[in-house]
Structure 1
Protein backbone atom coordinates (compact mmCIF):
# COMPACT_ATOMS: atom_id res chain seq x y z
CA UNK A 1 0.00 0.00 0.00
CA UNK A 2 2.84 2.39 0.85
CA UNK A 3 4.50 1.82 -2.54
CA UNK A 4 1.29 2.77 -4.38
CA UNK A 5 0.99 5.87 -2.21
CA UNK A 6 4.62 6.83 -2.98
CA UNK A 7 3.97 6.44 -6.74
CA UNK A 8 0.91 8.69 -6.49
CA UNK A 9 2.88 11.26 -4.49
CA UNK A 10 5.75 11.06 -7.00
CA UNK A 11 3.39 11.76 -9.93
CA UNK A 12 1.87 14.70 -8.03
CA UNK A 13 5.39 15.93 -7.17
CA UNK A 14 6.41 16.09 -10.83
CA UNK A 15 3.16 17.86 -11.69
CA UNK A 16 3.85 20.40 -8.93
CA UNK A 17 0.70 19.75 -6.90
CA UNK A 18 2.14 18.30 -3.70
CA UNK A 19 2.05 19.99 -0.32
CA UNK A 20 5.10 20.44 1.90
CA UNK A 21 4.10 17.49 4.07
CA UNK A 22 3.82 15.22 1.02
CA UNK A 23 7.22 16.36 -0.23
CA UNK A 24 8.66 15.63 3.23
CA UNK A 25 7.20 12.12 3.00
CA UNK A 26 8.87 11.62 -0.40
CA UNK A 27 12.21 12.91 0.90
CA UNK A 28 12.08 10.60 3.91
CA UNK A 29 11.26 7.62 1.69
CA UNK A 30 14.01 8.25 -0.90
CA UNK A 31 16.68 9.13 1.69
CA UNK A 32 16.24 5.72 3.37
CA UNK A 33 18.25 2.67 2.40
CA UNK A 34 15.21 0.67 1.34
CA UNK A 35 13.79 2.01 -1.94
CA UNK A 36 11.75 -0.14 -4.31
CA UNK A 37 13.65 -1.32 -7.40
CA UNK A 38 11.35 0.46 -9.86
CA UNK A 39 11.77 3.78 -7.99
CA UNK A 40 15.57 3.70 -7.57
CA UNK A 41 15.96 5.97 -10.59
CA UNK A 42 14.34 8.85 -8.63
CA UNK A 43 16.54 8.46 -5.56
CA UNK A 44 19.43 10.69 -6.83
CA UNK A 45 17.00 13.62 -7.20
CA UNK A 46 16.02 13.59 -3.55
CA UNK A 47 19.55 12.78 -2.30
CA UNK A 48 20.84 15.74 -4.35
CA UNK A 49 18.16 18.02 -2.87
CA UNK A 50 19.16 16.92 0.63
CA UNK A 51 22.83 17.62 -0.08
CA UNK A 52 22.05 21.00 -1.66
CA UNK A 53 20.04 21.98 1.41
CA UNK A 54 23.01 21.11 3.63
CA UNK A 55 25.51 23.22 1.64
CA UNK A 56 26.80 26.37 3.28
CA UNK A 57 29.21 28.96 1.99
CA UNK A 58 32.09 30.57 3.83
CA UNK A 59 32.32 33.44 1.38
CA UNK A 60 31.43 36.87 2.73
CA UNK A 61 29.17 38.94 0.53
CA UNK A 62 29.35 42.70 0.58
CA UNK A 63 26.32 44.50 -0.74
CA UNK A 64 26.84 47.91 -2.32
CA UNK A 65 25.68 50.80 -0.22
CA UNK A 66 22.70 52.60 -1.62
CA UNK A 67 22.63 56.38 -1.61
CA UNK A 68 19.50 58.13 -0.46
CA UNK A 69 17.36 59.09 -3.44
CA UNK A 70 15.27 61.76 -1.77
CA UNK A 71 17.05 64.62 -3.55
CA UNK A 72 16.62 63.05 -6.99
CA UNK A 73 12.97 62.29 -6.35
CA UNK A 74 12.38 65.89 -5.30
CA UNK A 75 14.23 67.17 -8.36
CA UNK A 76 12.23 64.96 -10.74
CA UNK A 77 8.92 65.99 -9.21
CA UNK A 78 9.83 69.69 -9.46
CA UNK A 79 10.87 69.27 -13.11
CA UNK A 80 7.61 67.44 -13.88
CA UNK A 81 5.58 70.25 -12.29
CA UNK A 82 7.42 72.84 -14.39
CA UNK A 83 6.78 70.90 -17.59
CA UNK A 84 3.07 70.59 -16.80
CA UNK A 85 2.83 74.29 -15.88
CA UNK A 86 4.61 75.28 -19.09
CA UNK A 87 2.25 73.12 -21.17
CA UNK A 88 -0.89 74.51 -19.54
CA UNK A 89 0.38 78.09 -19.79
CA UNK A 90 1.34 77.78 -23.45
CA UNK A 91 -2.08 76.29 -24.26
CA UNK A 92 -3.85 79.10 -22.43
CA UNK A 93 -1.81 81.88 -24.04
CA UNK A 94 -2.00 80.39 -27.52
CA UNK A 95 -5.78 80.81 -27.57
CA UNK A 96 -6.86 84.04 -29.34
CA UNK A 97 -8.32 86.78 -27.17
CA UNK A 98 -10.43 89.24 -29.16
CA UNK A 99 -11.89 92.56 -28.12
CA UNK A 100 -15.60 93.27 -28.65
CA UNK A 101 -14.84 95.34 -31.75
CA UNK A 102 -12.76 92.52 -33.26
CA UNK A 103 -15.52 90.01 -32.54
CA UNK A 104 -18.07 92.23 -34.31
CA UNK A 105 -15.72 92.63 -37.28
CA UNK A 106 -15.26 88.85 -37.51
CA UNK A 107 -19.05 88.33 -37.41
CA UNK A 108 -19.51 90.92 -40.20
CA UNK A 109 -16.77 89.23 -42.21
CA UNK A 110 -18.50 85.84 -41.86
CA UNK A 111 -21.81 87.34 -43.01
CA UNK A 112 -20.09 88.99 -46.00
CA UNK A 113 -18.34 85.75 -46.86
CA UNK A 114 -21.65 83.84 -46.78
CA UNK A 115 -23.30 86.47 -49.00
CA UNK A 116 -20.43 86.28 -51.50
CA UNK A 117 -20.67 82.48 -51.56
CA UNK A 118 -24.42 82.72 -52.29
CA UNK A 119 -23.75 85.22 -55.08
CA UNK A 120 -21.01 83.01 -56.51
CA UNK A 121 -23.30 79.97 -56.52
CA UNK A 122 -26.03 81.91 -58.32
CA UNK A 123 -23.55 83.26 -60.91
CA UNK A 124 -22.27 79.73 -61.53
CA UNK A 125 -25.84 78.55 -62.14
CA UNK A 126 -26.32 81.42 -64.60
CA UNK A 127 -23.08 80.56 -66.38
CA UNK A 128 -24.31 76.99 -66.79
CA UNK A 129 -27.48 78.33 -68.44
CA UNK A 130 -25.34 80.35 -70.85
CA UNK A 131 -23.76 77.16 -72.14
CA UNK A 132 -27.24 76.01 -73.18
CA UNK A 133 -27.83 79.35 -74.98
CA UNK A 134 -24.50 79.01 -76.78
CA UNK A 135 -25.39 75.46 -77.83
CA UNK A 136 -28.75 76.74 -79.06
CA UNK A 137 -27.01 79.41 -81.14
CA UNK A 138 -24.64 76.88 -82.70
CA UNK A 139 -27.51 74.56 -83.59
CA UNK A 140 -29.57 77.47 -85.01
CA UNK A 141 -26.65 78.53 -87.22
CA UNK A 142 -26.32 75.01 -88.58
CA UNK A 143 -30.02 74.84 -89.43
CA UNK A 144 -30.24 78.23 -91.19
CA UNK A 145 -27.11 77.80 -93.29
Structure 2
Protein backbone atom coordinates (compact mmCIF):
# COMPACT_ATOMS: atom_id res chain seq x y z
CA UNK A 1 0.00 0.00 0.00
CA UNK A 2 1.33 3.42 -0.91
CA UNK A 3 0.59 6.28 1.47
CA UNK A 4 0.88 9.91 0.44
CA UNK A 5 1.99 12.84 2.63
CA UNK A 6 -1.46 13.24 4.19
CA UNK A 7 -1.56 9.60 5.28
CA UNK A 8 -4.12 8.65 2.65
CA UNK A 9 -3.72 5.21 1.10
CA UNK A 10 -3.37 5.38 -2.67
CA UNK A 11 -6.56 4.25 -4.33
CA UNK A 12 -8.61 4.48 -1.13
CA UNK A 13 -8.74 8.17 -0.32
CA UNK A 14 -8.68 11.51 -2.03
CA UNK A 15 -5.84 11.94 -4.53
CA UNK A 16 -3.59 14.95 -4.69
CA UNK A 17 -5.65 17.66 -6.41
CA UNK A 18 -2.56 19.75 -7.20
CA UNK A 19 -1.74 17.49 -10.15
CA UNK A 20 -5.08 18.03 -11.87
CA UNK A 21 -7.06 20.74 -10.06
CA UNK A 22 -9.91 20.80 -12.59
CA UNK A 23 -10.73 17.12 -12.33
CA UNK A 24 -13.41 15.88 -9.95
CA UNK A 25 -12.33 13.10 -7.64
CA UNK A 26 -14.21 10.53 -5.64
CA UNK A 27 -13.39 11.28 -2.01
CA UNK A 28 -15.12 8.27 -0.51
CA UNK A 29 -12.59 6.41 1.62
CA UNK A 30 -13.61 2.91 0.52
CA UNK A 31 -13.88 3.31 -3.24
CA UNK A 32 -11.16 0.75 -4.03
CA UNK A 33 -12.25 -1.96 -1.61
CA UNK A 34 -14.42 -3.84 -4.13
CA UNK A 35 -11.55 -4.10 -6.58
CA UNK A 36 -9.25 -5.25 -3.79
CA UNK A 37 -11.69 -7.95 -2.75
CA UNK A 38 -12.04 -9.15 -6.35
CA UNK A 39 -8.27 -9.30 -6.80
CA UNK A 40 -7.89 -11.12 -3.49
CA UNK A 41 -10.44 -13.77 -4.47
CA UNK A 42 -8.74 -14.28 -7.85
CA UNK A 43 -5.33 -14.61 -6.26
CA UNK A 44 -6.67 -17.02 -3.67
CA UNK A 45 -8.26 -19.23 -6.31
CA UNK A 46 -5.14 -19.29 -8.50
CA UNK A 47 -2.34 -19.49 -5.97
CA UNK A 48 -3.81 -22.50 -4.21
CA UNK A 49 -3.85 -24.61 -7.38
CA UNK A 50 -0.79 -23.42 -9.31
CA UNK A 51 1.80 -25.15 -7.07
CA UNK A 52 -0.22 -28.38 -7.00
CA UNK A 53 -0.44 -28.54 -10.78
CA UNK A 54 3.13 -27.34 -11.33
CA UNK A 55 4.43 -30.10 -9.08
CA UNK A 56 2.04 -32.72 -10.49
CA UNK A 57 4.71 -34.77 -12.25
CA UNK A 58 7.23 -34.67 -9.41
CA UNK A 59 8.05 -38.05 -7.93
CA UNK A 60 7.26 -38.38 -4.22
CA UNK A 61 10.95 -38.63 -3.33
CA UNK A 62 11.65 -35.40 -5.28
CA UNK A 63 8.63 -33.44 -4.05
CA UNK A 64 10.56 -31.57 -1.36
CA UNK A 65 13.24 -30.38 -3.76
CA UNK A 66 10.68 -29.47 -6.41
CA UNK A 67 8.59 -27.52 -3.90
CA UNK A 68 11.64 -25.67 -2.63
CA UNK A 69 12.71 -24.80 -6.18
CA UNK A 70 9.23 -23.49 -7.02
CA UNK A 71 9.15 -21.37 -3.88
CA UNK A 72 12.61 -19.95 -4.61
CA UNK A 73 11.64 -19.02 -8.17
CA UNK A 74 8.46 -17.31 -6.94
CA UNK A 75 10.42 -15.29 -4.38
CA UNK A 76 13.09 -14.36 -6.92
CA UNK A 77 10.46 -13.14 -9.39
CA UNK A 78 8.72 -11.14 -6.68
CA UNK A 79 12.00 -9.54 -5.61
CA UNK A 80 12.89 -8.70 -9.23
CA UNK A 81 9.57 -6.97 -9.91
CA UNK A 82 9.76 -5.14 -6.58
CA UNK A 83 13.27 -3.93 -7.40
CA UNK A 84 12.14 -2.74 -10.83
CA UNK A 85 9.20 -0.91 -9.24
CA UNK A 86 11.34 0.93 -6.69
CA UNK A 87 13.99 1.79 -9.28
CA UNK A 88 11.32 3.27 -11.56
CA UNK A 89 9.58 5.03 -8.64
CA UNK A 90 12.16 7.81 -8.86
CA UNK A 91 10.17 9.05 -11.87
CA UNK A 92 6.83 8.81 -10.05
CA UNK A 93 4.57 6.06 -8.78
CA UNK A 94 2.39 6.01 -11.89
CA UNK A 95 5.49 5.48 -14.02
CA UNK A 96 6.71 2.74 -11.67
CA UNK A 97 3.36 0.94 -11.92
CA UNK A 98 3.45 1.13 -15.72
CA UNK A 99 7.01 -0.18 -15.91
CA UNK A 100 6.27 -3.01 -13.47
CA UNK A 101 3.12 -3.98 -15.34
CA UNK A 102 4.97 -4.01 -18.67
CA UNK A 103 7.68 -6.26 -17.18
CA UNK A 104 5.12 -8.66 -15.69
CA UNK A 105 3.17 -8.80 -18.96
CA UNK A 106 6.35 -9.40 -20.98
CA UNK A 107 7.42 -12.25 -18.69
CA UNK A 108 3.91 -13.69 -18.88
CA UNK A 109 3.91 -13.63 -22.69
CA UNK A 110 7.37 -15.19 -22.82
CA UNK A 111 6.28 -17.89 -20.33
CA UNK A 112 3.11 -18.92 -22.17
CA UNK A 113 4.86 -21.51 -24.41
CA UNK A 114 6.12 -23.24 -21.26
CA UNK A 115 2.54 -23.81 -20.08
CA UNK A 116 2.24 -26.61 -22.66
CA UNK A 117 4.97 -28.50 -20.77
CA UNK A 118 3.10 -28.38 -17.44
CA UNK A 119 1.24 -31.45 -16.19
CA UNK A 120 -2.46 -31.47 -16.98
CA UNK A 121 -3.62 -32.49 -13.52
CA UNK A 122 -2.48 -32.31 -9.94
CA UNK A 123 -1.16 -35.47 -8.33
CA UNK A 124 -3.81 -37.69 -6.71
CA UNK A 125 -4.48 -37.14 -3.03
CA UNK A 126 -3.07 -39.91 -0.81
CA UNK A 127 -5.70 -42.15 0.73
CA UNK A 128 -5.98 -42.09 4.47
Answer with 1 or 2: which has the greater Rg. Answer: 1
Task: Give the TM-score, by structure 2 length.
Answer: 0.25
Q: Relative contact order (C-alpha < 8 Å, sep 6+): which is higher? A: 2
